Amino acid sequence: MDQLKHVSCGIKGLDTILGGIMSPSTVLIAGSSGVGKTIMSLQMLSNASKNGENALYIPITTESPEKLMLYNSTLDFYEDSFEVHPINRQLAEKDPLTTLIEIGNILESRKPDRLVIDPITPLGYGFIEQEKRRFFYTLDSMLQERNMVTFLAGELLKSDIHNSVVSHLSDGIIYLSREDRNARADHRLEFIKMRGIDPGKRSEITSHKYLYNINSSGFTVYPHLRPVKEIDLDDTQVEIGVPGLDSMFEGGLYRYNSLLVAGVPGTGKKLFGLQFILKGLENNESAMVITFEDTPHQMILDSKRMGWELEEYINKGLLHFICTNPNQIYPAEHADRIKEIIETNNIKRVFFDGTNHMEISIPDILELKGYIYSITSYLKSKNITSLFTTDIAPSECPGNEKIDISSIMDSVLILHNSKARDRRYMCVTKSRGAKHKRSIKEYAITESGIKLRTDALI
């Protein structure tokens, strides 16, 4: 046997989590019907074939080869360059020994680098437990003789895995599941075991579940968003973009800071965010706007009314948008899109408009705080200045509002409408690691944006 080595899994996101998969090895892909075992298997084989590997697919099925090809051709990623050798499922259940011999002959003639048997559960179906174990030990010996990566797809519930002899013979076990949450279903992937993982990452990898998505483009796994390690934080101060506001933070925000702007609807939170982004764009900094309510086109039109031309920055490749319906958000997928745009465009400023909209997709407040925390931690580790907005309930005492995500942010700015005086006020209630003025100041929404009075009211 050749030396063990890491090879690509062929699934987007999976290599990021695992660092590749060991070759040679045998991995069980378990889960109930409809969770994506076959699509995952076909995509791994397609990508392996594209990379020059000799890939082989052995489906245990009642369908004809023609029907299999017709189904597979509907998948955008599918490559018909790998070998498909179907085995009749009824024959496999009635005469497993003949099936075992057939598999051996196929392997001998094709000599694959990567193999998928899908599903493995019909094999040895008619045997008593002792004979079934003997059958699978024989199959395992046959697979071990080959210097290849083998994936065995199995229709097994999580509770069934440890009682299956296949799990004991596998170097790794990937479990796929569907979880119904509110009005939608989430797909989760977890690693029951996986040999060859970096020992320093083993506990983290095997103790978490990972969201995955299935569509005609393929199978995608979303790694958890993690801060970049061992980076020096940039403590230079940057302008916020609202005239007069920098003085309330004794010179502006630190480059790595996150600022939460909170207020009732109509206090100008979105304008704060747009002015913050515009200041960065004027300094030739790449920026990203994350929005749930307004489309990019609507924001462009609103900005034009204020005399701000965002289109020119979009055309220059400096301004980027993520606009998502909160009813359709999968948090891990959303975070992955944020990370991808940041790392491909050297983003320096992020405006996250309306964290309260995330409550639709993440109704659990602790889970929502965890999501926002992962975003802010990642942005901080990349020395990105960020501004978040959120709605709060009206209060007669500005500055004393309870905001569930305020503890996560470096700085908090509260906006307040005074109905009695028909005026607007703001107050900095928090600025972690920096001096700030707690005085309440009046501001106005003008035709050219938000402006502050230079004198403190309190």
Question: Using one digit for the tens of pLDDT, what is the confidence trace for 340-376?
Answer: 999 999 999 999 999 988 888 888 888 889 999 999 9
Q: Cα 30 to the chain's mean position, in Å?
A: 22
Q: What is the pLDDT of residue 458?
A: 42
The residue behind tokens 């598999």 is 103
Question: Using one digit for the tens of pLDDT, what is the confidence trace for 204-214?
Answer: 888 889 999 98
Question: Are 363 and 184 within 8 A, CB to CB?
Answer: no
Residue 272: pLDDT band by 50, 70, 90 thresholds? very high
Question: Are 58 and 118 within 8 A, CB to CB?
Answer: yes
Q: What is the pLDDT of residue 316?
A: 95
At position 375, the amino acid (one-letter code) is I
Question: Using one digit for the tens of pLDDT, what is the confidence trace for 366-403?
Answer: 888 999 999 999 999 999 999 999 998 876 454 555 66
Question: Are 9 and 21 within 8 A, CB to CB?
Answer: yes
Q: What is the pLDDT of residue 340?
A: 95
Peptide bond into 24 cis (omega under 30): yes
Q: What is the pLDDT of residue 421?
A: 64
The residue behind tokens 């309930």 is 393
> Mean pLDDT, the chain, as a whole number?
87
Q: Is the pLDDT of residue 240 over 60?
A: yes
Q: What is the pLDDT of residue 94?
A: 81
Q: State pTM to two decimals.
A: 0.83
Tokens encoding 164? 């299956």
d(CA 125, CA 166): 13
Least confident of 274-288, 293-307, 393-407, 430-444: 393-407
Question: Are 43 and 218 within 8 A, CB to CB?
Answer: yes
Q: Is the pLDDT of residue 282 over 90?
A: yes
- Percent over 90 (pLDDT), the chain: 47
Q: What is the pLDDT of residue 326?
A: 84
Q: Give CA separation, 338 vs 149, 291, 341, 347, 435, in Å.
A: 33, 12, 5, 10, 31
- Percent over 70 (pLDDT), the chain: 94
Question: Are 384 and 256 within 8 A, CB to CB?
Answer: yes
Peptide bond into 96 cis (omega under 30): no
The domains found in the chain, sorted by start residue, are 5-221 (3.40.50.300), 237-452 (3.40.50.300)
Give the residue-averaged pLDDT of 157-179. 91
At position 207, the amino acid (one-letter code) is S
Residue 439: pLDDT band by 50, 70, 90 thresholds? confident
Question: Using one digit for the tens of pLDDT, what is the confidence trace for 175-205?
Answer: 999 987 766 778 999 999 998 887 777 888 8
